[in-house]
């Protein structure tokens, strides 16, 4: 009986073949991908191992990487592992009498953690673009490309399987970034992208969670503390009083900064999006773009004087108050809109930093984001945290406590004076 069953399995086994080969089409770097060919019932599918080598480094007779390659032993072990996994999966499917076409075998193997990282990174970038998230797309695209450069620099090919991205490899990547004088805060952003793509692949059942390199006992991502410094009351007055040419971009930049400050440090993207229809009953009604939290605030007299400078440019009640987004053909195209906001913010910051601040005799680095820090700095511990949470539009009071802790110094200063003030 056992002999009969084994003979049947062997017969089924012979109907399929799994073979390692070097694909005959090179990539942009002139390297050739190592692949596994799965043939079943005269139909063939190919699955890439995720590594590229020179043609001269491939042993065609023995179907393995030659010793001339610096990582030949590692690559050959990986190839053997992939072939073994493919054979095991094929046998499992045959014994269970499941669909065993070449494509189904390939699909089942890939679901066990052989998806490629850069490939999924491109899917992640496409998703960001389709969601209109221009800022994240622009920031994360070069981070994925830098990781690909790291792989190539370490002879790991132009892509890598998720199962090969171990804590050791990530720490090596961290060192690679440090050697290029990249700050610890920026390195954290690189690791967050890798983690995000991992989670996306796991959620799509392309990678087994056992390969996840983050968490307790593995790679723990900790965002370093940053110092948040805003303007003083005296510096804000200097900014208000400095004479700038009417109708100039530096005056417009100053208006945007003050408008943000007068509304509790409104985010610059929300400032640009404000429309005339958002002003009702002397209040400004708007929904914050970051978390969609809505609400309204009384319009201060100082803000009204800024708004009045743009009334002649008003085309309709649905028009933007500030002119920066009026050039966008379709404001419903979130990706194009964010691109315009990012480019304009960069220009505004440049004018604030290089023209407005020097004219106002302000030594600090002046940017739109500093308006939010300035409100936090001047509010200090004068306003209850619950009210600050409402003004900042934070979803959690914990976020407000963490943010405002950058600007509350009285207790610490008093404690210091109590000891050394003799």
- One domain for residues 136 and 94: no
Give the end of a domain, one of 92, 110, 128. 110
Q: Which residues of 50-71 are buried (b: 16+ CB within 10 A; e: fewer)?
A: bbbbeeebbeeeeebbeeebeb
Residue 259 vs residues 303, 315, 323: alpha-carbon distances, Å: 6, 21, 14
- Within 10 angstroms of residue 117's Cβ, the number of other Cβ atoms is 24
Structural domains in the chain (count): 3
The pair phi, psi for residue 372, each rounded to 5°, is -70, -45
Give the end of a domain, one of 163, 181, 211. 211
pLDDT of residue 335: 87
Q: Find the CATH number of the domain harbouring 280.
A: 1.10.443.10
- Structural domain span for residue 40: 11-110
- One domain for residues 66 and 125: no
pLDDT of residue 412: 56
Which residues of the chain are under the pLDDT cut of 50? 1-14, 111-113, 416
Residue 287 lies in a domain: yes
Distance CA 373, CA 384 (A): 17
- One domain for residues 123 and 93: no
- One domain for residues 240 and 370: yes
- One domain for residues 395 and 250: yes
Residue 216 lies in a domain: no
- One domain for residues 304 and 410: yes
- One domain for residues 35 and 173: no
- One domain for residues 44 and 178: no
pLDDT (tens digit, 9 = 90+) per residue, 49-61?
767 888 899 999 8
- One domain for residues 402 and 265: yes
Residue 228 lies in a domain: no
pLDDT of residue 7: 38
Residue 18 lies in a domain: yes
Residue 220 lies in a domain: no
pTM of the shown model: 0.60
- Within 10 angstroms of residue 165's Cβ, the number of other Cβ atoms is 22
- One domain for residues 48 and 77: yes
- One domain for residues 105 and 203: no
- One domain for residues 260 and 356: yes
pLDDT of residue 375: 83
pLDDT (tens digit, 9 = 90+) per residue, 348-370?
999 999 999 999 999 998 999 88
Would you say how long the chain is, in residues?
422
Residue 170 vs residues 210, 292, 325: alpha-carbon distances, Å: 16, 35, 41
Residue 197 lies in a domain: yes
Distance CA 99, CA 121 (A): 30
pLDDT of residue 8: 41
Residue 419 lies in a domain: no
Give the end of a domain, one of 89, 110, 131. 110
Distance CA 49, CA 11 (A): 28
Residue 227 lies in a domain: no
pLDDT of residue 250: 95
């Amino acid at each position: 009986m056992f002999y009969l069953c084994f003979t049947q399995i062997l017969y089924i086994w012979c109907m399929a073949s799994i073979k390692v080969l070097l694909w005959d089409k090179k990539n942009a770097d002139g390297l050739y991908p190592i692949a596994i060919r799965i043939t079943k019932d005269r139909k063939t599918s190919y699955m890439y191992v995720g590594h590229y080598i020179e043609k001269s480094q491939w042993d065609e007779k023995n179907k393995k990487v030659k010793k001339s390659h610096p990582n030949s032993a590692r690559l050959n072990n990986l190839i053997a592992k992939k072939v073994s996994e493919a054979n095991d999966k094929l046998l499992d499917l045959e014994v269970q009498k499941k669909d065993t076409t070449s494509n189904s075998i390939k699909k089942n193997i890939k679901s066990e953690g052989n998806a490629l990282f850069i490939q999924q990174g491109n899917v992640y970038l496409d998703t960001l673009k389709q969601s209109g998230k221009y800022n994240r797309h622009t920031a994360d695209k070069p981070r994925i490309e830098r990781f690909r450069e790291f792989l190539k620099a370490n002879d790991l090919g132009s892509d890598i399987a998720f199962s090969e991205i171990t804590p050791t490899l990530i720490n090596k990547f961290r060192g690679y970034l440090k050697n290029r004088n990249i700050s610890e805060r920026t390195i954290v952003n690189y690791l967050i992208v890798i983690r995000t793509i991992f989670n996306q692949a796991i959620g799509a059942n392309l990678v087994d969670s056992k390969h996840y390199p983050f968490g307790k006992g593995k790679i723990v991502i900790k965002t370093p503390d940053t110092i948040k410094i805003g303007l003083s009351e005296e510096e804000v007055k200097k900014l208000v009083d400095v004479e700038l040419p009417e109708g100039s971009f530096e005056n417009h930049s100053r208006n945007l900064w003050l408008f943000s400050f007068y509304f509790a440090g409104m985010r610059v993207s929300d400032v640009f999006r404000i429309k005339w229809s958002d002003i009702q009953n002397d209040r400004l009604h708007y929904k914050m773009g970051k978390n969609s939290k809505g609400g309204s605030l009384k319009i201060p007299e100082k803000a009204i004087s800024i708004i009045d400078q743009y009334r002649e440019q008003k085309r309709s009640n649905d028009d933007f108050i500030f002119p920066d987004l009026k050039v966008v053909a379709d404001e419903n195209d979130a990706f194009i809109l964010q691109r315009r906001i990012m480019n304009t913010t960069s220009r505004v910051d440049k004018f604030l930093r290089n023209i407005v601040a020097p004219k106002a005799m302000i030594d600090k680095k002046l940017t739109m984001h500093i308006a939010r820090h300035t409100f936090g700095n001047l509010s200090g511990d004068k306003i209850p945290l619950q009210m600050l949470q409402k003004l900042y539009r934070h979803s959690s009071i914990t976020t407000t406590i963490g943010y405002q802790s950058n600007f509350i110094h009285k207790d610490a200063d008093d404690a210091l004076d109590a000891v050394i003030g003799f």
